[in-house]
């Protein structure tokens, strides 16, 4: 009898293990870099000169631009909750130039500069070096945060590429730049209990605010400064694989309780015979 109960408990634990493996598959997929649109004609071939004119680039695209040393180059991209974006910029320099320091900065939708978790954000190109490569990996974007925390939040992010400490003799030399943004999906490890009412996209709060007047006037009142968003839309942290692991943990705890009870209650007792039967 006890052997039968032990076998049943083992089978139950084996079934629970299969459930854990099935749940681990999407979690492993989340750990891989997020898929983005392939490089193509939609990738921007120029950069903006300010936050308002920043060229919009989707994650997974390679944006290109030609400029002169001393120019400020701006791009913008969307980042959603649970993503850890990495910005990589490559500047191809002219054949003859003095040493110069290049820097890439990333700002959120409120134009607050975000610190790089790791990466070579500033690099000095040696004299006559053909190119210089910079990178900046942000902290994981959170669905919600305290106002004082300065955590990355879902919305539009801006990239500014420029050179610092440039000699006057090198001003105006032609350069070309490439920018690529990719993200790693962290998943439930970065999930928080909360979400934003709207992503931090500049101008989204005043979209359609002026509904009075004719159609022509209402069209001019729409002031969304950024039209890009993730392919699947803004999630704002309403779902993560933490829900899966919480459910699996509850099931395993219940199975462990049933198995422990079956193993420790001892052999069954015969039913009591009423006196005088």
Over residues 13-20, the mean pLDDT reads 51
- When pLDDT is averaged across residues 247-258 and rounded to a whole number, the result is 84
Angle at 230 between CA 108 and CA 157, to 5 degrees: 15
Between 88 and 166, the more confident residue is 88
| pLDDT at residue 271, as a whole number | 56
Q: In what side-by-side order are the strands of the sheet with 83-92?
A: 62-68, 174-185, 83-92, 131-138, 116-118
Q: Closest Cα partner for 106 from 98, 94, 118?
A: 118
Closest by CA to 74, choosing from 56, 93, 100, is: 56
Residue 75 has pLDDT above 90, yes or no: yes
Q: Which residue has tokens 């000699």?
A: 167
Contact 118, 137 (CB under 8 A): yes
- For 60: left if phi > 0, alpha if psi spans -120 to 50, otherwise beta; the answer is left
State yes or no: pLDDT of 58 exceeds 90.
yes
What is the number of residues in the chain? Answer: 277
Q: What is d(CA 139, CA 151) in angstroms, rounded to the nearest whole number?
A: 8
Residue 7: CA atoms inside 13 Å, Cβ hemisphere, count?
4
**116: pLDDT strictly greater than 50:** yes
143 φψ region: left (φ > 0), alpha (ψ -120 to 50), beta (else): alpha
pLDDT tens figures, 19-53: 544 544 444 444 444 444 555 558 899 999 999 99
What percent of the chain is modeled with pLDDT above 90?
Answer: 39
Q: Architecture of domain 33-234 in CATH?
A: Sandwich (2.60)
Q: What separation in angstroms does the CA of 263 have from each of 11, 12, 192, 223?
A: 14, 13, 39, 68
d(CA 17, CA 209): 53
Q: According to the model, what pLDDT value does residue 223 have?
A: 44
Over the stretch 174-233, which tens digit does the pLDDT of each residue have?
A: 999 999 999 998 876 666 666 777 888 887 555 444 444 444 444 444 444 566 777 777
Q: Could you tell me the pLDDT band of residue 158, with boundaries at 50, 70 and 90?
A: very high
């Amino acid at each position: 009898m006890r052997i039968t109960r032990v076998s049943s408990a083992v089978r139950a634990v084996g079934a629970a293990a299969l459930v854990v493996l099935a749940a681990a598959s999407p979690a492993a997929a989340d750990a891989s870099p997020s898929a983005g649109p392939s490089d193509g004609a939609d990738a921007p071939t120029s950069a903006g000169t300010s936050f308002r004119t920043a060229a919009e680039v989707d994650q997974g695209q390679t944006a290109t631009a030609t400029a002169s040393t001393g120019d400020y180059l701006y791009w913008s991209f969307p980042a959603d909750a649970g993503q850890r974006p990495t910005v990589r910029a490559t500047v191809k320099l002219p054949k003859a130039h003095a040493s110069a320091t290049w820097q890439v900065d990333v700002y959120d939708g409120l134009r607050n500069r975000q610190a790089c978790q790791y990466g070579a954000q500033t690099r000095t190109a040696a004299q006559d070096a053909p190119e210089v490569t910079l990178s900046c990996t942000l902290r994981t974007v959170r669905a919600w945060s305290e106002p004082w925390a300065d955590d990355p939040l879902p919305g539009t992010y801006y990239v500014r590429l420029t050179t610092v400490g440039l000699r006057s003799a090198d001003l105006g030399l032609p350069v070309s730049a490439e920018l690529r943004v990719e993200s790693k999906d962290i998943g439930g490890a970065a999930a928080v209990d909360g979400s934003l009412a709207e992503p931090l996209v500049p101008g989204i709060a005043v979209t359609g605010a002026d509904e009075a007047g004719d159609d022509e006037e209402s069209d001019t009142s729409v002031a969304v400064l950024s039209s890009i968003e993730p392919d699947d839309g803004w999630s704002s942290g309403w779902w993560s694989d933490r829900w899966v692991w919480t459910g699996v943990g509850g099931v395993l705890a219940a199975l462990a309780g049933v198995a422990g009870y079956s193993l420790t209650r001892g052999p069954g007792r015969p039913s009591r015979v009423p006196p005088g039967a």
